[in-house]
Chain A
Amino acid sequence: MKVLIVEDNQELARNIRDYLGREGYICESCETLEQAKEKITLFQYDCILLDIGLPDGNGISLLNYIRAEYKDTNVLIISARNALDDKIIGLEKGADDYITKPFHLAELHARIRAIYRRKNLGGARIVEFNEISLNTDTFEVRVGDTLLDTTPKEFDLLLYFIVNKNRVLSRQSIAAHLWGDYTDNLANFDFVYQHVKNLRRKISYAGGMDYISTVYGLGYKFNSHLGANG
């Protein structure tokens, strides 16, 4: 997948590039609206990560341009302004999603995958990994042929793991993913622990492999190569 990062902060752009690069994404980045326009005209991108506050103007204007000229490109808005107006305007003007700084890179990745699934895989919204398959329409999880009885949060969690497989997912990132931005009082990692524990138990019970492991001090990891990672 080809991704264009329109972000004036180079460090942040590099973070995104590094993270997505490891997933095998081809990432390019630019810092101004002008450069972005040029790149969009010359190349084709599957997804554009668009910062709203750019040195030479508001990212929303670029969004208008993209929507007028390149309807199929996915746009994910990145903004530090938590202002509701921006969020609503962005989505009204045809952005596919909206993420607020500071975000976890795993969360950004999950959002990009979600947009991609929604728009590009037309209908077939099944995410598969080995014997596990998730249907993002019906929220059903199957291990082999066995239907898993998962709660909505467990479904979310498993999807988050599979999208970010072989990555260390911090408990903070998981909590933010499951409970959103305003989890003021809910950064209680016991809940994360409970959810992960239940999920592992349910998968094992249905005959699946125990892909999820604890990373000491940090969080959890979904290992795709069980043999290699132990």
Chain B
Amino acid sequence: MRLTTKFTLWYFAIMLVVLLIGGAIVYYEIQWKLGEVEVARHQRLNDIIALQIRDGGDYTGHPTRKRATVTLLPADSIPKGNASFYTRGLAWNPEFQTDEYKLMVTSFYTIGTAHYRITTYSFIPSFYQLLPGVVDSFKWILLVLLVLVIVSGGLISKYILAPFKRTMRSIQRFDLKQKEPIRLPETKTSEFQELNTFLLQLTESARKDYQSLKEFTENASHELQTPTAIIRGKLDLLMESDIRDEQAILIAEMQNALERLSRIHSSLTLLTKLENKEYKAGEPVCISNLARETLAAFDELIQMKSIDLRVHIEKGVYIPMHQSLADLLLTNLISNAIRHNNVPQGAAKGLIRVELTHEGLVIVNTGREPGIPTKELFERFRKGNSGSDSIGIGLAIVRQICELSHFDIEYHYNSGLHMLAVSFLPKLPASKLLQNLSLPLQVDAAGGRSKNRSL
């Protein structure tokens, strides 16, 4: 629910309460005032009648006596201290032939030595008759207020919340990687000033933390790669010198370990960079072309291992992602499929199937059963085959790239076949791709290495 709507509803509820109480007050006020005015009028009339009596003369039939009763009282029956009182209540009105609200004012006078009681009355509108009028007018007031609150609520909140909305927009545009501190709009509202100050501090510290982390990664990378480069260079030079066979073996072993070290290091650095989201999607990359190029680059390896390769690549699959990441993704997946390829028992040769459609990419290859569940292969340093030479970070990189690009990835192993599917569409689970695989999962009967490229 929008803030303005909330405010309007609350105001409306408050208005309703206020108007109900106000209505009751107005109702009772009118009722009391009407009685008061009427009583005052009758007291004045009573006074006039008393004056007429004092003057003497015959006033019978005078308009003042129309609804008046004058009674001569014995001296002892005059109530003490009370010159006048009034009563009211429903009574029969003979003029209108109906029960009406009757106000009766009784006053006591002493004129000369005689004591008089003068009572006048009149029929006034009943309070119950006023009620609908009160309710009606308050209904209109409520309606007018409602319209005003809704209209002004929209306009005023737009004006008051404008700085807040601008702040929101700035925050949405905020990027940890940006070099400048975030710029927030000026505002005179103290709450928004507070919010802006807080946001400024928060984003600034996040930005600085990110920067220092990035610098640390880069420095660590720099500081470690240089000594590695030195050792590698020295070994290169040492190889040239006059060495014995056993020394050559030692050098070769060092070379191997160094290679591993350097690869672990560069992969970890790459993973950090991926996690830091340093590679942003640029222009859409033509995955179709890239897949063909990558396969061509590995063509000789595939031939050497005499793998049966079948490829189905749809034309013009463009995905918005960083060119290098697309490259890494394909290289890692295809090289994995080649590297971990094994000729299954009873078969002539291993196979690789690559299917690229607009929905996603599926790579199937023959291979040994992994020693751990396929899900765990995406973890760092997890290998399906602990004896292998790989460092087990390729799939971690693949997963990170998929997460960055919002791809779904699935890895299945089923009776000698490794199946890896990457779905490019956010709503399509990768497992769906595996069900719709169109390529044959058997080695060609003819045994020939065929490429089935539908362009």
Residues of A within 8 A of B (CB): 9, 11-12, 15-16, 18-19, 22, 53, 80-84, 100-106, 151, 153, 167-168, 170, 172-173, 181-188, 190-191, 194-195, 215-219
Contacts and interface: CB of A to CB of B under 8 A. Distances in A.
A90 to B, nearest CB: 15
A19 B335 contact: no
Contacts of A153: 300
Interface in B240-261: 240, 245, 248-249, 251-252, 255-256, 258-259
Interface in B92-138: none
A197 B267 CA distance: 31
14 contacts: A9-B230, A15-B233, A22-B240, A80-B224, A84-B279, A105-B237, A106-B236, A151-B300, A170-B255, A184-B335, A185-B389, A186-B339, A191-B301, A215-B248
A184 B394 contact: yes
Interface stretch (B27-35, B324-332, B422-430): B324-332
Contacts of B279: 84
B203 interface: no
A187 B390 CA distance: 8
B444 to A, nearest CB: 23
Contact of A11 (B223, B230, B236, B304): B230
A105 B239 CA distance: 12
Contacts of A170: 235-236, 239, 252, 255
Contacts of A195: 300
A101 B278 CA distance: 20
Interface string B291-312: 0000000011100100000000
Contact of B304 (A15, A103, A191): A191
A224 to B, nearest CB: 14
Nearest to B328: A182
B360 to A, nearest CB: 22
Given A168-B240, A170-B239, A182-B331, A19 B233 contact: yes
Contact of B226 (A80, A191, A194): A80
Contact of A82 (B221, B226, B248, B256): B221
Contact size class for B? 35 or more
Nearest to A186: B335
Contacts of B290: none
Given A172-B256, A188-B339, A188-B389, A217 B267 contact: no
CB-CB nearest 3 A-B residue pairs = A15-B233, A102-B229, A80-B225
B36 to A, nearest CB: 89
Interface in B264-280: 266-267, 269-270, 273, 278-279
A81 B237 CA distance: 24
B264 to A, nearest CB: 10
B232 interface: yes
Contacts of B390: 184-185
A100 B239 CA distance: 22
Contacts of A219: 239
A95 B259 CA distance: 27
